[in-house]
Amino acid sequence: MALLVSYGYLPGTDITPSVGFMRELPNESLEFFTPGEWDEDLMLLDPDSDSTLAESIGFSGAREAEEVETNWNSAPLSPSPYGYEARRSQRIGDRIEISVGAFATAEADTAYIGVGRASSETPRCRGMAKCWGVHRRSAQAASPCLRTRAGTPLRSQPPARRRGRLIGTEVEVSWTFDSAPVEGDQPEVLPLAGVRFESEVDDFGRAPAGVEYPVQLHPEHLLGTEITELTMEVSYDDGASWAVVPTTATEQGATALLDHPDSDGFVSLRASAVDAAGNSVDQTMLRSYQITTG
């Protein structure tokens, strides 16, 4: 049982109406929007907890007379700098801001940004004079002043952990990119990339054990820069050991064929991507989805 709270900005206004319902999970929700620009958050609150923090998912778009189906928290999960609040992955002057969907689905317009009460809320940093602060409700970080040598790559690693979850228990992502001071008052989008995973799972994020199983890799880039290198690894022991998985290029990215063990368990996924400018991302999702013999 969970309390689902849905709220969003009405088109052309700053009004944010909301509505909440107690629901058994899994659950389906049918909502209607006024055509035009809109944003919405869907928040999952535990009714038995006194926590004021919530896991949330964001939607945004400009759709008219179109039926849209969006799966929330649908495995396999991955980190992503896209979807809701992606516009905050930017630089202005000497200030860098990064917002990442810590537990995102394969759909490009959604990003699971909330990391929950029990999450690690202090990002680790490399190559920076000062460590970043972090917004307690999502995996966001900002550095007030950068001091690095020219040509020195910047790396950020905002780890997030979710306790009490079967899938998406821990995520870690590291970006390496070049960035120069931005003049004026208009921010410049950072050259961040990410890799989303897609495969056939049931409503509980489960796939069959003991089979060969295809997983789609969908690389994306905030600036649209071409991805020139894409690799993937898999773990069946919660990240204790990893194995490289060969991939086959497709129009959307690549396909990997996994060999699921013949036992109940979980599949953790790791991906790396490099763009044409040499910027890169390395990301790891523990328990991206579940496998079962049942």
- Calculate the CA 274 to chain-centre distance: 18
Cα angle 174-274-233, degrees, rounded to a multiple of 5: 70
Q: For strand 170-177 and strand 280-292, is the pairing parallel, antiparallel, or unpaired? A: antiparallel
CATH superfamily of this structure's domain 78-292: Immunoglobulins (2.60.40.10)
**Coil, helix or strand at residue 176:** strand
CA–CA distance, 152 with 78 (Å, rounded to integer): 27
DSSP string, 236-256: SSTTSS-EE--EEEETTEEEE
Contact yes or no for 77/112 (Cβ under 8 A): yes
User: pTM of this prediction?
Assistant: 0.69
Using one digit for the tens of pLDDT, what is the confidence trace for 87-132? 467 787 777 777 666 677 766 555 444 433 223 333 333 333 233 3
Using one digit for the tens of pLDDT, what is the confidence trace for 164-196? 567 878 888 888 887 777 888 888 888 889 898
Provide the residue ranges of all domains of the chain, joining segments of one domain with +.
Answer: 2-63, 78-292
Neighbours of 126 (CB within 10 A): 12
CA–CA distance, 55 with 162 (Å, rounded to integer): 10
Contacts of 66 (CB under 8 A, 6+ apart): none
Beta-strand runs (E) in 10-86: 18-23, 36-45, 55-63, 78-80
CA–CA distance, 225 with 216 (Å, rounded to integer): 20
pLDDT, position 34: 60
CA–CA distance, 167 with 212 (Å, rounded to integer): 20
**Coil, helix or strand at residue 71:** coil
Least confident piece of the model among 10-14, 49-53, 223-227: 49-53
Phi/psi at 154 (5° precision): -105, 135
C-alpha distances out from residue 39 to 33, 35, 200, Å = 10, 12, 28
Least confident piece of the model among 39-48, 132-141, 179-188: 132-141
267 vs 115: which has the higher pLDDT: 267
CA–CA distance, 116 with 162 (Å, rounded to integer): 7
